Structure 1
Amino acid sequence: MVSSDGSTSQAQQAETRLVTSGRDTKAQKGFVNPPVVHGSTVLYPTAEDLHAHRGEFQYGRHGTPTTRALQETLMALEGPQCAGVGLAPSGLAAISTTLLAVLKAGDHLLVCDNAYRPTRNFCNGLLKRYGVETTYFDPLIGAGIDALFKPNTRAVLVEAPGSQSFEMTDIPAIAAVAHARGALVIDDNTWATPLFHRSLDQGVDISMQAATKYVGGHSDIMFGTISANAEAWPVIAENIRLLGVCAGPDDVFLALRGLRTLSVRLHQHYRSGLDMARWLAGRPEVQRVLHPALESDPGHPIWKRDFTGASGLFSIVLKPAPQQAVDALLDTVKLFGMGYSWGGFESLIIPFDCSAYRTATKWAPGGPTLRLHIGLESTADLKADLERGFAAFNAAA
């Protein structure tokens, strides 16, 4: 974990900060990239230094030159509200570490009903056993969330857009209410990343990412990040140390390498994803496209106000059809792989159904639902692939 004022000017554009932050070519003996430090023990030159814990680094779990470079780059991306960044071995580890840091037995937590399902599992499992009560709320509630607060409400967790159903939450409105009530606001910012959504600037106190996705960008690491403002950072930093949370040096290096190209990749995912979403909206097999960057989407006004771009992840609702028709589509496409996670260079497709675990809202889309991640392939080829899938879908319907 690291906390500093950074050496890169915030006046520079995000693309420049991604490339230049966290680099010290003199310390790196002239090399562009920092070394991958595999280390646990740090030696002290004198007994006085040892007693005082004096030195830039004290122990491998607490930080190395490699982790410092990644954290400084993430801080530059998050913006001036970011007081520190913690690293975790997965996105879920970032979420669980954050919730354990800010909550205690007897506290009450508010969570949006469209949150990442493993987040719900953690709240309904470990947090419940530890005496924390969780209430789920309609992601469209906005300032109406005030009615759900209790005297012991400690935090609100939001995710915009939602993991599978892509409703847009009015984060600034919720943050205003939460802060008036003395509660922290936690945001799962994996979908847009701080490149397209600087949530710390919009009243969020702690912003998390499953950096497994777009930060890594190549489907080859598990990683999580926790960014916090000046109020929340001390408790996050303390609990990272208490819990012994850290990430391996090779994954840290790969996350840093992914960050250097995040802008060019994410802009391409944005363009290709929107192109595919518009094409799918015109298909006879598709009842509705769930993508907040589409002008027709109910969440578009919030997205346009709060976000500067979109990622390649969205969902579609198909016309009513039997399961064998959906399976025929899935078995026919070749460029869209069937697999969980997303954010890599490849396109993915999975069926999903939120109805089994939604509690504050009812999920009734009116047809089978598919979540797509649009990778870096040619969209012409992706459309041709889906056309073959739709032909199989129609034949089996």
Structure 2
Amino acid sequence: MRKLSTQLIHHPYKPPAGFEALPPAVHKASTVIFPSVHALRSQEWKDKSGYTYGLHGTPTTFTLEERIATIEGGRYCVLAPSGLSAVSLVDMAFLRQGDELLIPDNAYGPGKAFAAGELAGWGITHRYYDSQNPADLARKISPATRLVWLEAPGSITLEYPDIPALVDVVRAANAGRERAIVTVLDNTWGAGIAFNAFDLGVDVSMQALTKYPSGGADVLMGSVVTRDEALHQQVLLCHMRLGLNVGANDAELVLRGLPSMALRYHAQDVTTRQLATWMAQQPGVSQVFHPALPSSPGHATWQRDATAAACLFSAAFDERFSQVQIDAFCDRLALFKLGWSWAGPISLCAPYNMPSIRTKPWPHRGGLVRFAVGLEAPDDLQADLAQALQALTD
């Protein structure tokens, strides 16, 4: 008879089949057991027809990938450990030494830093273009251009670009090219709810699942979604060679957040529009940036292409206020906590020094604060803003 330690590892009991519940099962594994040598040699993971190693997918991660692809309107999805790792994955999958990358000047800052750091060190150049001006993108495209990032709306200042017009510029430049330029959209803000990225013409859609799909401010994850199988295979194989993976418990948290995502998105949208509209009317505020406001850059394009507007707005303050005063305004807020990220249950704010993070001259001389609206009662959030503004303007 086998010893107890062996029996505990090689126990013969298997639970009966047929168990079904609302939440998907959480499968944790590094090693995957095969029934035979033939299965070990022939099992395929790239098309989700089987399992080979925990790094290459489990029923839990495959389920999450399929659901994210559905939300985005795509066919294929790859998961990454964070939104930034998803950005880096796309860059590494499609760029080679001697290639050029074009990035909106108002793109996510850490993605720009990756281009200026690692990509530049690998012999990949980058330039910035004005996302509000398709003609500027057309002027910047060169024979070396291989990847164009899009972001809707822009990071922090929320300018809404004409995605179809930018995509048309790239398609025109692709005529006669042996190696086509790929367009990729940071779709974290839209989340597959405000618009369908692929219907607007992009090749690849990337998200930080940390934000809306999770919704709990308790997990980091990213995704890369495509409709084109060849592009997906480029991303998937790069993903495999980099050894990227997400934990089963993190995948579980995102799966748990998905059923309520649309409800949370629209609830935060309603509150954010109320607060952005109110904030734009306050003394000491020179402009509020939010795509649903007629005064915000790209409003007409947002109105044409999108159906919702997420949880972010930013306020540019009058130039008479110093950065010290604006920082004190943020410190006075009680419900808006100081912190990065957004789309969680708690409202957040953060001050930014815009001239230091843009190559294009920033037109506002005053400071700027970005607000991320949570799930608190709208009137309570407005009262919090009012008391901090009162102290600022007194």
1:350 aligns with 350
1:172 aligns with 164
Give the number of the structure whose alpha-carbon radius of gyration is greater: 2
The answer to whether structure 1 residue 124 and structure 2 residue 116 are counterparts is: yes
The answer to whether structure 1 residue 104 and structure 2 residue 104 are counterparts is: no
1:394 aligns with 393
1:222 aligns with 220
**Counterparts of 1:144 and 1:277, CA distance in 2:** 30
Identity %: 38
Letter matched to residue 272 of structure 1 = T
**Counterparts of 2:160 and 2:241, CA distance in 1:** 35
**What's the Cα RMSD here?**
1.5
CA contact (8 A) 1:189 1:197 kept: no
2:6 aligns with none
**Counterparts of 2:266 and 2:343, CA distance in 1:** 12
Provide closer, same or farther for how the CA distance between residues 286 and 27 of structure 1 changes in structure 2, counting only shifts above 3 A. Answer: farther
1:23 aligns with none
CA contact (8 A) 2:61 2:248 kept: yes
CA contact (8 A) 1:196 1:307 kept: yes
TM-score by length of 1: 0.90
TM-score by length of 2: 0.90
CA contact (8 A) 1:62 1:241 kept: yes
1:31 aligns with 21
**Counterparts of 2:50 and 2:392, CA distance in 1:** 60
CA contact (8 A) 1:142 1:171 kept: no
The answer to whether structure 1 residue 56 and structure 2 residue 89 are counterparts is: no
The answer to whether structure 1 residue 372 and structure 2 residue 366 are counterparts is: no
* CA-to-aligned-CA distance 1:300-355 (integer Å, 9 cap, x gap): 11111111111111101111212332132122110000011111011111100221
**Correspondence list, 1:49-198, <5 A:** 49-53=39-43, 56-79=50-73, 82-180=74-172, 181=174, 182-198=180-196
**Counterparts of 1:384 and 1:27, CA distance in 2:** 55
CA contact (8 A) 1:355 1:364 kept: no
Q: Secondary structure at the match of 1:201?
A: coil
CA contact (8 A) 1:94 1:225 kept: yes
| Residue 366 of structure 1: how far off its partner (Å) | 2.6
Provide closer, same or farther for how the CA distance between residues 58 and 207 of structure 1 changes in structure 2, counting only shifts above 3 A. Answer: same
Query: Aligned match of 2:200 in 192, 202, 205?
Result: 202
**Counterparts of 2:100 and 2:297, CA distance in 1:** 30
Q: How many residues align?
A: 367
**Counterparts of 2:124 and 2:18, CA distance in 1:** 46
**Counterparts of 1:197 and 1:84, CA distance in 2:** 18
What are structure 1's unaligned runs of at least 5 residues? Answer: 1-25
Greater mean alpha carbon deviation, residues 222-231 or residues 50-59: 50-59
| Residue 293 of structure 1: how far off its partner (Å) | 1.1
Q: Secondary structure at the match of 1:232?
A: helix
**Counterparts of 1:365 and 1:260, CA distance in 2:** 40
